[in-house]
């Protein structure tokens, strides 16, 4: 099976970071916002939260497209920052971002980025997880403030953009899927798309 007009490839996300990353695979796709409650369940580990939400996002969009595009192949993704077992979400505000970075100063943080691919018409649903280990430098309040004013990463889990100025806050990054930290692990995404029957360039 090849990527043809007979079915659609859909990214279940409105994230510009994921959209820009998926575009690197040179496959035509559209984006649809998933209607999913992202509230963690009681006692849910960060990695399990990321995997659950990625799959739920893909399934939700596949369901909404069942009538108009039943053959759609849908990609869902989610990222959860994990500080000693506690999930860190998107800060949303300057104050919360400053508090997150202060907590992560000098610490090792795991960024769990999950991706799921669903094609409901034939019951295909697979998921994968890329975990990135990030070691933060020791950050004083002035450094945190300068960074946040310069980059305003309030829509990023962990309050730092490693693809931008946020790299200066870090001591080390360890990953086997280089784009996972930005928001979509493309090596794993490509593997799942091939498993779903798509031919990648």
CATH number of the domain that residue 63 is part of? 3.90.950.10
Asked if the structure places residue 17 within a domain, the reply is yes
Asked if the structure places residue 37 within a domain, the reply is yes
Asked if the structure places residue 201 within a domain, the reply is no
Active-site position among 78, 82, 155, 176: 78
SS (H, E, C) 122-191: HCEEEEEEEEEEEEECCCCHHHHHHHHHHHCCCCCCCCCCCCCHHHHHEEEEECCCCCHHHCCCHHHHHH
Which H or E run contains 115?
strand 108-119
Examine the pLDDT at 1 and tell me if it is beyond 70: no
Confidence of residue 3 (pLDDT cuts 50, 70, 90): very low
Asked if the structure places residue 2 within a domain, the reply is no
- CA 131, 192, 186, 100 dihedral sign is negative
Residue 93 confidence (pLDDT): 97
Residue in 76, 85, 84 with CA at minimum distance from that of residue 113? 76
Examine the pLDDT at 183 and tell me if it is beyond 90: yes
Confidence of residue 123 (pLDDT cuts 50, 70, 90): very high
For residue range 126-162, list pLDDT tens digits in order. 999 999 999 999 999 999 999 999 999 999 989 999 9
Asked if the structure places residue 141 within a domain, the reply is yes
Residue in 46, 16, 23 with CA at minimum distance from that of residue 129? 46
Pairing, β 9-11 against β 73-83: parallel
Which residues constitute the domain of residue 176? 9-195
Active site residue 35: no
Distances (CA, A) of 147 to 101, 175, 181: 10, 24, 18
Residue 70 confidence (pLDDT): 87
Asked if the structure places residue 20 within a domain, the reply is yes
Residue 92 buriedness (CB in 10 A; 0-12 / 13-18 / 19+)? exposed
Domain count, the chain: 1
Tell me how far apart the alpha carbons of residues 50 and 66 are, in angstroms, rounded to a whole number.
24
Residue 201 confidence (pLDDT): 77
Asked if the structure places residue 64 within a domain, the reply is yes
Asked if the structure places residue 200 within a domain, the reply is no
């Amino acid at each position: 099976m090849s990527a043809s007009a007979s079915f659609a490839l859909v990214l279940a996300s409105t994230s510009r970071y994921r959209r820009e990353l998926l575009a690197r695979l040179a496959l035509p796709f559209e984006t649809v916002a998933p209607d999913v409650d992202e509230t963690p369940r009681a006692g849910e580990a960060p990695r399990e939260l990321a995997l659950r939400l990625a799959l739920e996002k893909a399934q939700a969009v596949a369901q909404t497209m069942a009538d108009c595009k039943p053959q759609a192949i849908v990609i869902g993704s989610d990222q959860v920052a994990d500080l000693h077992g506690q999930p860190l979400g998107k800060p949303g505000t300057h104050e919360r971002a400053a508090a997150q970075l202060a907590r992560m100063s000098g610490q090792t943080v795991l960024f769990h980025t999950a991706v799921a691919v669903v094609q409901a018409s034939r019951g295909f649903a697979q998921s994968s997880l890329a975990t990135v280990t990030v070691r933060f430098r020791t950050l004083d309040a002035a450094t945190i403030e300068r960074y946040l004013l310069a980059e305003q990463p309030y829509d990023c889990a962990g309050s730092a953009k490693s693809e931008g100025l946020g790299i200066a806050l870090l001591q080390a990054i360890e990953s086997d899927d280089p784009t996972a930290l930005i928001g979509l692990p493309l090596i794993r995404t490509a593997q799942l798309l091939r498993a779903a029957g798509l031919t990648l360039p």
